[in-house]
Amino acid sequence: MRPKIKITVLKKFTSKDVLGYDFKFPSGYIVKDCNVVQEGQEFIVEDELKMPEGFWRWAWVDIYRDVAILTMKGNFGEGELTGLKYSACSDGLKPVVFKLERIEE
């Protein structure tokens, strides 16, 4: 059985955070931050790399590789970084940063 992975939503950025101004489409719509997940929200990957219920599919595609490596007991560093990875979705106007942690049971 593979270890579980805890995904924590660390930071949601707005277009103003990224670009220095609110991005506005020609229609006048201003891009807001992600409305699918909230900072501090946690998800657990328990079932053989199945996306957790309520998680954002676009972000899941972006972080899936990192989650898979952690479930196979791979590491991205040593010491304090063992079993840990910071990853983000690829939305260039409103990215979200996630903390991925392997849960050793």
User: Structurally, how many domains does the chain consist of?
Assistant: 1
Q: What is the pTM of this model?
A: 0.92
Provide the phi-psi class of 40: left if phi over 0, else alpha when psi is between -120 and 50, else beta.
left
Strands of the sheet containing 4-12, edge to edge, are 42-45, 4-12, 96-103, 84-88
Residue 48 scores a pLDDT above 90: no
Domain membership of residue 28 as a residue range: 4-103
Q: Using one digit for the tens of pLDDT, what is the confidence trace for 7-42?
A: 999 999 999 999 999 999 999 999 988 999 999 999
pLDDT value at residue 15:
94
Model confidence at 54, pLDDT cuts 50, 70, 90, reads very high
